[in-house]
Amino acid sequence: MGERGEEWEAVMLRKAEEEESKAVKKVKLVTSDGVTMEVEISTVKEMETIQAFMNATDTDNSIIFPLPKVSSHILSRIMELMSGEYDQELVKRLSHEELKEICMVANYLNMKTLLHLTASAIANLIQNKSVEFVRHFFNIINDFTPEEEVQLRKTHEWAFEGVDED
Amino acid sequence: MDDHLSSTPKNAIGLCLLPQELIQNIFLSLVLPEIVRLKLVNKSFSRIISDHTFVRQCNTLSTSTTWLFVYKKRWLRDAVLHAFTDRSSDRWFRIPIADLLKPVHFHGEDLYFLAASNNVFLFASNTVREVVAVNLVSVTVKKIPPSPLGPRGTSSWRRSGMKLVTEPSGSGHFRFMFAEFVGNHPVLFVYDSRTDTWKSTEAVESSASELSPRGGGHVFLNVVHGPSESVLVASTPECDAAVVLRPRFNYARGVGGNLSVGFSWGNVIDRLHVYGDGYMMIVKSEGDRVTGEGGVRVLKGVELWGLSLDGRKWEFVSTVGGVIEKPYAAMMGCLEEKNGIVMAALVSNCGGVWDMMWLSFDTKWMQWTWMPLPDCKMKGWNMAGISFSSGLTLP
């Protein structure tokens, strides 16, 4: 009985601490365009890169985390996706630029669910599309010489027919 | 000074920051023709796709992917293979092969598509009566010497009586086997691409203790089918021994229910039998060939039967639950088993319009799934062969 009671007490204590820290700790994210966004600590849980930083810096005060590679527009899109529980429909509404940027940010902040979701959305977009479409999509400049390109096309000729319209 | 920096699109820089694993993960959701195509995007993509770890991952995924290949043509010059996979189930891939076949000089002759496995595709010619092996990925074509039975026309090849097996090592080497009666006795013929020779083995009658479980890696080649008994040749994948199996078929005892009433092999109930890998699919239809509208029949049900463990009888496995009703004038099919999944494609034609259906049965969970395949734009064309195959692989 005694042991049980102690255990119970410990759990309650931990809960109270958590509540308290929730109330105190806020995370301020500063975007590349200088906008400061204050978010709940629970929101940051999924951002493993920030989480790791917070675990390392044991502070009671609010944390300011600069995101020099993330614009406020993209960050608010990410917040929308998170609060919408990563609805596929929301992902479909993103522009190609937004999708790519969010994928990169998800990778940078190590957000697993978002990364998986955006990566498969990109795969869906480029599936069975022409080489030109993929280059355009990723803003990639073709660095093959015309001769190399002809040679490659010839080697893999069987794979190039019947692509979808761009 | 900063000219070349500012002319580089900003996301090209961004994309390079994505780790290779992430890009590879995106690519792994695609199927092989799409991945191969991406090699052409730029040198960095090409490098990522040629990376050994990626090739291995991709091929592992690919070999467990099933493809259905349909060869359609009007003339040889526009011959094209259509490929469908359930991993990318809303489209057919077009694989042009007329150019690939050019080196073998068939002089505009008609070819028939016999079998496919991995990257190897076999075609038979009717007038020259030869078989050629095309490797899509290594882009090679090779004539296979005539079998010990001599040159064969396309009509001599029976789909359920032959099998193409490629080496799992990815070497591109393969064995092509078929079974045929020679002087009243079933014989197994095996071509090995490593030696470029044929070997024939007379199949021996199976003893009571011999077991050749279906789905256990054995190769089952059908020789003949009667209404109550079939003759098959079973062999190990290495083709070192061949055994004759004579499974009996008792339809009335096998299934209860109204469709097994009597033995109406006439025009009331039609049965199409599709054989492969020790399985037999019975496709039942109703209709009247003579008085029906243009000879239209209606598909009513599909049953799956399999060889018993001792190979002495066909035993009932499962019937498709639910109703698949489909009017048709002519139907054919092919069937293959792999990793415990039985897959069948049923191709029907009704008034010149082709229709295809993909059925699969999971032998472990005893579960059926089926789907109509997207339009393959076959109208006005001829179908010259159909085959399942495991996925294509990167070299």
Which ranges of chain B have pLDDT less than 70? 1-18, 75-77, 105-108, 208, 251-269, 288-295
**Could you tell me if residue A70 is inside a domain?**
yes
Contact A131 B41 (CB under 8 A): yes
Q: Which chain A residues touch B49 with a CB distance below 8 Å?
A: none
Name every residue in B having a CB less than 8 A away from some CB of A. 8-12, 14-15, 17-19, 22, 25-27, 29-34, 36-43, 45-46, 80, 88, 91-97, 99-100, 136, 139
- B64-390 has CATH 2.40.128 classification: no
Could you identify the residue written with the tokens 């395949």?
B373
pTM of the model: 0.82
Q: Count the alpha carbons within 13 Å of B314 in the hemisphere toward its beta carbon.
A: 30
- Between CA B30 and CA B25 the distance in angstroms is 9
- CATH number of the domain residue A42 falls in: 3.30.710.10
B78-119 pLDDT per residue, tens: 778 899 998 887 888 888 887 777 777 666 677 889 999 999
Indicate which of A96, A158, A165 best probes the interface with B, i.e. most B CBs within 10 Å of its own CB: A158
**Which range of residues forms the domain containing residue A24?**
2-127
Let me know: does B234 contact B310? Beta carbons within 8 Å.
no
Min Cα–Cα distance to chain A from B72, Å:
15
DSSP codes, A36-92: EEEE-HHHHTT-HHHHHHHHHS--SS-EEEEETT--HHHHHHHHHHHHTTS-HHHHH
Closest residue in chain B to residue A153, using alpha carbons only = B40
- Between CA B206 and CA B244 the distance in angstroms is 6
Which ranges of chain A have pLDDT less than 70? 1-6, 8, 12-13, 15-25, 58-61, 162, 166
Closest residue in chain A to residue B36, using alpha carbons only = A159
Both structure tokens of A158: 């069987």
The pLDDT of residue B11 is: 44
Chains A & B: contacts with CB separation below 8 Å: 113
Helices and strands, number each (H, E), in chain B: 8, 25
The pLDDT of residue A63 is: 80
Number of domains in chain A: 1
Domain residue ranges of chain B, discontinuous segments joined by + = 3-56, 64-390
Kindly give, in sequence order, each residue whose CB lies less than 8 Å from that of residue B246, ignoring residues fewer than 6 positions away.
Answer: B229, B230, B231, B232, B311, B312
Q: Which chain A residues touch B38 with a CB distance below 8 Å?
A: 126, 131, 134
Min Cα–Cα distance to chain B from A71, Å:
14
